[in-house]
Amino acid sequence: MLTRAFAERFAEEWISAWNSHDLNHILSHYSDDFTMHSPRIAALTAEQSGVLHGKSAVGDYWRLALANAPELHFTLIAVYLGADSVALHYHGVSGPAVEVFFFDPQGRVRLAGAHYAP
């Protein structure tokens, strides 16, 4: 089971990585075979399912997303702790968002899902 301390540390590091716009720093939080679910994947790529598998595919998507949003900055609103997941509620370039992260035994994200307000 995850701890509050783990969730808070992850949130701080994750927000900092995205605000740095350093793709390698961002990707360091994820396992090589992680899966990302986001409606924005379908908006920016040819993958209409909104799901990408693997660090390489997601890295390519995020590289494109960072290039399209040079003003990107996330502000953390809240951290929610689950038994084996962490949800971050934050404010991004398009408004509020929630991302849910599931972790592998090494503490890296193996599955993530992004959710956006309409």
Within 10 A of 32 (CB to CB), how many other CB atoms are there?
A: 10
List strands edge to edge, sheet with 95-103. Answer: 51-53, 30-37, 109-116, 95-103, 85-92, 75-81
pLDDT at 106 over 90: yes
**pLDDT, average across residues 14-41:** 97
Q: What pLDDT score was predicted for residue 109?
A: 98
Nearest-angstrom CA–CA distance, 35 and 80: 20
**pLDDT, average across residues 104-117:** 96
pLDDT at 1 over 90: no
Q: 51-104: per-residue pLDDT in tens?
A: 999 999 999 999 999 999 999 999 999 999 999 999 999 999 889 999 999 999
pLDDT at 37 over 90: yes
pLDDT at 118 over 90: no
**pLDDT, average across residues 16-36:** 97
Nearest-angstrom CA–CA distance, 106 and 20: 24
Nearest-angstrom CA–CA distance, 91 and 88: 10
User: Which residue type is seen at 58?
Assistant: V
Nearest-angstrom CA–CA distance, 113 and 118: 16
